[in-house]
Amino acid sequence: MLKIGNVELNHGLFLAPLAGVSDRAFRSVCRKFGAECTVSEMISAKGLHYNDTKTAILAAFSEDEAPFFVQIFGSDPEIMAESAKKLATNNYKACQNTCYPMGIDINMGCPVPKIAGNGDGSALMKNPKLAGEIVKAVSAVVDIPVTVKIRSGWDDEHINAVEVAKIVEENGAKAICVHGRTKAQMYRDPVNIDIIKSVKESVNIPVIANGGINTADDAKRMLEYTGCDGLMIARGAMGNPFLFEEITAYLEGRAYSVPNMEERMKVAMEHIRLMIDYKGEYTGVMEARKHLAWYIQGQKGAASAREKVNHASTLDDLEKIVNDYLRNF
Ligand SMILES: Cc1cc2nc3c(=O)[nH]c(=O)nc-3n(C[C@H](O)[C@H](O)[C@H](O)COP(=O)(O)O)c2cc1C
């Protein structure tokens, strides 16, 4: 049982924040298949500060997603606090939410140059003092839990997750997610599970393990080795929201049978229709192309279907491709 604030999660199974992927449609689908909690795509604190319209779209949530965290990135404690307060109180123009986040998560892991080069995301791993100040400033203005997502460190010479974890705990963080890779590694293996274990042994708040959890076996091994309180799944869920159900069954000792292709495609189309509901047909279909490709990845006939998917521009196109694919599967 993982408890953060007043929310209790049985296994602490999270869908990770995934910019460009974990939008409200994907978050709803993953919740339906056993993700106990989700995290939004990272949202720019500066964007919220300037009431940017694109940012407003990222900060829109629906009740079927709850419980969820909203993740912000930035490095100015004041602006981070101000934007967190807007999100926590739903006081954000241009975004008519009917529900509230269960917590605010702070991004201290994003490695992309546009973010880290600005002193945001993973750059905060190089500045533990500022990381602490941000957590303190945000915690002072919101009533909901503040959590932090960190990496193992900046590079192999600077593995400082334990130091950062202790500082953010001292400054009010209520849970920490550790991605067991350095910034320099980006998303490449190996995942350093020893550092995740060390963080777990060094702090008194819940620790959530992240990195390389792609099967139920990976999940069990990660929990057993690190002693962590929860797990965060990222790329393993892309095109495979069923992974949450599989992990839950495995952890509970229940039998599980993987969905057949027809079932997978049914869920994929539900997912795509939700994307279109939220974003309109054109944007929905453009963004759905990659999701559909992930749903069929590694399956018979995937390469030629993907080629057709890349030329689809309407829902009808995608439905036809999926029906043809199933007929020939
Ligand atoms: C496409 C993509 C987008 C991501 N966006 C975010 C993000 O917005 N915030 C964040 O904290 N991490 C982000 N991450 C990192 C993931 O949440 C996760 O930490 C990382 O992928 C490692 O987990 P995995 O090995 O299960 O994929 C992103 C990763 C990918 C691949």
Q: How far is the CA of 216 from the centre of ligand 1 (A)?
A: 19
Instruction: Give this prediction's pTM.
Output: 0.96
The helix (H) or strand (E) run that includes residue 327 is helix 315-328
Q: Quickly state the pLDDT bin for 93 (edges 50, 70, 90).
A: low
Question: Are residues 20 and 148 both part of a single domain?
Answer: yes
Q: What is the per-residue pLDDT for 158?
A: 98
- Per residue in 41-69, pLDDT (tens digit) is 999 999 999 988 888 888 888 888 889 99
pLDDT, mean of residues 288-306: 95
What CATH number did the domain enclosing 317 receive?
1.10.1200.80
238 and 269, same domain (yes or no):
no
Residue whose tokens read 């404690």: 77
Atom of ligand 1 nearest to the CA of 109: 11
Residues 76 and 208 in one domain: yes
Q: Which run of H or of E encompasses 218? A: helix 216-226
Task: Mark 11-47 as b/e (b = at least 16 C-beta within 10 Å).
Answer: bbbbbbbbbebbbbbbbbbbbebbbbbbbbbbbbbbb
State the distance from the centre of ligand 1 to the C-alpha of 320, rounded, in angstroms. Answer: 32
pLDDT for residue 57? 83
Q: Is 282 in the pocket of ligand 1 (CB under 6 A)?
A: no
Structure confidence at residue 260 as a pLDDT band (50, 70, 90): very high
What tens digit of pLDDT does each residue of 122-156 get?
A: 999 999 999 999 999 999 999 999 999 999 999 99
**12 pLDDT above the threshold of 90:** yes
What percentage of the chain exceeds 90 in pLDDT? 89
Q: Whose CA is nearest to atom 28 of ligand 1?
A: 18
183 within a domain of the structure (yes/no) = yes
Confirm if 26 and 33 have CB atoms less than 8 A apart: no
Ligand 1 binding pocket includes 150 (Cβ within 6 Å): no
Q: Is 19 in the pocket of ligand 1 (CB under 6 A)?
A: yes
Tell me: do 232 and 286 sit in the same domain.
no
Annotation marks residue 110 as catalytic: yes
Q: Which among 230, 251, 272 is the end of a domain?
A: 251
pLDDT, position 132: 98
Dihedral class, residue 217 (left if φ above 0, else alpha if ψ from -120 to 50, else beta): alpha
Same domain, yes or no: 194 and 228 = yes
d(CA 316, ligand 1 centre) in Å: 31
How do residues 201-211 score in pLDDT, each as one tens digit? 999 999 999 99
The Cα–Cα gap between 173 and 186 comes to 24
* In a domain? residue 37: yes
Q: What is the mean pLDDT of residues 278-298?
A: 97
Mutate to test the pocket of ligand 1, among 215, 235, 287 (most ligand atoms within 8 A of CB): 235
Ligand 1 contact, 318 CB (< 6 A): no
- pLDDT score of 96: 66
Instruction: Supply the pLDDT for residue 69.
Output: 95
State how many domains the chain has: 2
| Domain end marker among 226, 251, 276 | 251
Tell whether 173 and 274 lie within a shared domain. no
What domain range includes position 277?
261-328
Residue 256 lies in a domain: no
* 213: CATH: 3.20.20.70
pLDDT tens digits, residue range 187-246?
Answer: 999 999 999 999 999 999 999 999 999 999 999 999 999 999 999 999 999 999 999 999
Residues facing 13 on adjacent strands? 231
Task: Please check whether residue 102 is in contact with residue 4, taking contact to mean a CB–CB distance below 8 angstroms.
Answer: yes
pLDDT reading at 95 higher than 70: no
Instruction: Give the helix ranges, DSSP H, for 7-71.
Output: 24-32, 45-49, 53-58
Active-site residue, selected from the candidate residues 30, 110, 177, 228: 110
pLDDT at residue 205, as a whole number? 97
Domain stop point among 222, 251, 280: 251
In this structure, the answer to whether residues 125 and 7 fall within a common structural domain is yes
Our answer on whether the CB atom of 42 is closer than 6 Å to any ligand 1 atom is yes
The rounded radius of gyration (Å) of the Cα atoms in the chain is: 19
- Asked whether residue 188 is assigned to any structural domain, the reply reads yes
**Span 269-297, average pLDDT:** 97
Indicate whether 196 and 291 sit together in one domain: no
Atom of ligand 1 nearest to the CA of 16: 17
Q: 179 — phi, psi (to 5°)?
A: -90, 115
223 and 90 belong to one structural domain: yes
